[in-house]
Amino acid sequence: MSEIRQMKKPLIKQVDPGKLPEPLLVFLKNGIPVYITDSGTEDIERIEFSFDAGSIHENSPLLASTTNLMLIEGSEKYKSTLINRLLDTWSAFFHPYVERDRAGFVIYFLNRHIEKILDIAGEILFHPVFPDSELKLLMKKRYRKFLIEKDKVYRLAAEQFFESIFGNQHPYGRQTLPADFSNLDRELLSDFHGLYYRPEKMAIFVSGKIHKDILLLLNKYFGEIPIQPVIANEFSGFPSGQKKRVIHIEKKGALQSAIRIGAPTINKRHEDYFGLKVLNVILGGYFGSRLMKNIREEKGYTYGVSSSVVSLNLSGFLSISSEVSNKFTRNAVDEIYKEIRRLQTEPVPVEELSVVRNYMLGELVRMFDGPFAAAESFRSAWEFGLDNSYYTRFAARIRSIEPDEIKALAKKYYKIDDLYEVTAG
């Protein structure tokens, strides 16, 4: 039925992300920086309003995320239902976000609605009133979601993992507790908003097919807001890990167990970071990774296993996670350690390294494909005080790194005795 076709294998050309242009930087009248990535084929724009308002700054759990989610629940000019209706009417896609370090609001809209969108954005970001009834309802809804999340083994493992590696006193590590949902009030939100949602703690990232009057309009809605001298944020201290390195959380009736193994680590500002990223991809960062090959494709213990290296402002972490059949939890954990040890003792074969190199260079091309992706990629370097030359240097390092260097990094950053191991199931 099927004959050999004798097709010649195509030659593969080396992938090259090339020169990555920087966004155009301009300042509004009051000094708010605006980064503009102007390209795109459709008449649509993306604006990200980013504030130094992440959960790192909260004294009460959930304060940063609740403040952020409450922004659209009513302002001086518009009631909650009206904001929602307006955003929907002007067909905007919007998502509020809160990360550990930053928080903000991303909005996609058709260019012809730009004035209406900026008007609403100004209200949402700078004139929220945090009405009580909306706050109560939001907390109720969030509590229901929290309970559902608590039923997922990967969630249980993840929460415990961050507590273990960053400590339960630090905002990076603190777990959410049921009582946290009833401890917030309007005043707390208002104070948090007043401190962190400020023009001097803000940057704007605009991308897409840029409206010709963008600067005029941004100045109209955001450039007049008076700024104050920057007050240094209260420093929350560096996170520090807990003593206990192996923890199991029992969940009755679970069919699978979640695994999280990892440790705090360096971030984008460190010179070893590029190499660590390459090492991570080899271990568990792509479909053909060693962990996927071993635990999924050879043994069939799991639907998926992955590893990641993530940068945070005050730290970073590396982690390996999977959900596996209960009978094989121990075997899977052992195999994870085995793969780490193999990276520490055997140099990565040249063929494998060249696959990873090309895959990662392809990823860099994808990260800058289109204005929206490019703006997101820039932002995630920018928040560490870097620019797109970070990615150009990254590409160069991906090409230059050698097997011995990877082995040395595996020894340095994946010390088995320093790893935390959390299982839930």
Partner 1 sequence: MVSFSKFTLDNGLRVIVHEDSSTPLVAINLLYDVGSKDEDPSVTGLAHLFEHLMFGGTSEIPEFDTPLLLAGGENNAFTNSDITNFYITVPAENIETALWLESDRMNCLDFNNKSLDVQKKVVVEEFNQRYLNYPYGDSLLCLKPLAYKVHPYRWPTIGIDPSHIRNVTLSQAGDFFYSHYAPNNAILALAGKITPSQAMKLAEKWFGNIERRKITTRELTAEPEQTEERTQVVERDVPASSIFKAWHVPASRKEGFYACDMITDILAGGESGRLSVRLIKRKKLFSEIDAFITADIDPGLLILHGKLMKEAKMEEANDSINETIEDLKTKYVSAAEMEKVKNKYESSVIYGNTSILNKAMNLAYLELLGNPNLINEEADLYRGVDKTIVMDTVHKYLNRSNCSTLFYKSTRKER
Judged by CB under 8 A, the residue of 60, 84, 242, 331 near partner 1 is 84
Does position 220 bind partner 1 by CB under 8 A? no
Does position 392 bind partner 1 by CB under 8 A? no
CA 324 to centroid of chain Cα atoms = 24
- In the complex, the smallest distance separating the C-beta of residue 158 from partner 1, rounded to whole angstroms, is 14
Does position 366 bind partner 1 by CB under 8 A? yes
- In the complex, the smallest distance separating the C-beta of residue 238 from partner 1, rounded to whole angstroms, is 35
Contacting range for partner 1; rule: CB under 8 A; set: 58-66, 144-152, 167-175, 238-246:
144-152
d(C-alpha 421, C-alpha 345), whole Å: 21
Judged by CB under 8 A, the residue of 105, 109, 162, 221 near partner 1 is 109
Nearest residue to 203 via CA among 86, 106, 316, 314: 106
Using N-to-C axis directions, what is the helix angle for 132-149 and 63-70, rounded to 10°?
120
Judged by CB under 8 A, the residue of 77, 140, 338, 415 near partner 1 is 140
Contact (Cβ atoms closer than 8 angstroms) between residue 199 and residue 30 = yes
Cβ-based burial of 408 (10 A; exposed 0-12, middle 13-18, buried ≥19): middle
Judged by CB under 8 A, the residue of 15, 225, 227, 310 near partner 1 is 15
Judged by CB under 8 A, the residue of 47, 56, 70, 92 near partner 1 is 92
Judged by CB under 8 A, the residue of 21, 22, 25, 43 near partner 1 is 43
Instruction: Tell me whether residue 288 or residue 403 sits nearer to partner 1 (CB atom).
Output: 288
How far lies 244's CA from each of 153, 179, 326, in Å?
20, 25, 23
Does position 249 bind partner 1 by CB under 8 A? no
Does position 9 bind partner 1 by CB under 8 A? yes
- In the complex, the smallest distance separating the C-beta of residue 38 from partner 1, rounded to whole angstroms, is 12
- In the complex, the smallest distance separating the C-beta of residue 84 from partner 1, rounded to whole angstroms, is 4
Judged by CB under 8 A, the residue of 59, 81, 175, 240 near partner 1 is 81
3-state SS class at 301: coil
Angle at 105 between CA 319 and CA 50, to 5 degrees: 75
Does position 110 bind partner 1 by CB under 8 A? yes
Binding mask 174-213 for partner 1 (x = CB under 8 A): ----------------------------------------
Contacting range for partner 1; rule: CB under 8 A; set: 49-57, 83-91, 376-384, 403-411:
83-91
Looking only at the bridges linking them, the beta strands covering 202-208 and 302-311 are unpaired
Task: Please report the beta strands in 246-375, taking only residues with DSSP state E, as ranges in sequence order.
Answer: 246-249, 256-264, 302-311, 316-325
Nearest residue to 116 via CA among 86, 96, 142, 138: 86
Judged by CB under 8 A, the residue of 21, 24, 59, 93 near partner 1 is 93
Query: How many binding residues for partner 1 (CB under 8 A)?
Result: 73
Nearest residue to 332 via CA among 366, 296, 378: 296
d(C-alpha 21, C-alpha 27), whole Å: 19
Does position 152 bind partner 1 by CB under 8 A? yes
- In the complex, the smallest distance separating the C-beta of residue 109 from partner 1, rounded to whole angstroms, is 7
d(C-alpha 258, C-alpha 152), whole Å: 9
d(C-alpha 339, C-alpha 23), whole Å: 40
Contacting range for partner 1; rule: CB under 8 A; set: 49-57, 102-110, 335-343, 378-386:
102-110
Judged by CB under 8 A, the residue of 26, 355, 367, 386 near partner 1 is 355
Restricting to residues 252-311, which ones interact with partner 1 according to CB under 8 A? 253-256, 286-288, 296-303
Does position 408 bind partner 1 by CB under 8 A? no
Instruction: Tell me whether residue 168 or residue 326 sits nearer to partner 1 (CB atom).
Output: 326
Cβ-based burial of 207 (10 A; exposed 0-12, middle 13-18, buried ≥19): buried
Instruction: Tell me whether residue 142 or residue 220 sits nearer to partner 1 (CB atom).
Output: 142
Show the DSSP H helices in 11-113 as ranges.
63-70, 80-89
| Rg, the chain, Cα only | 24
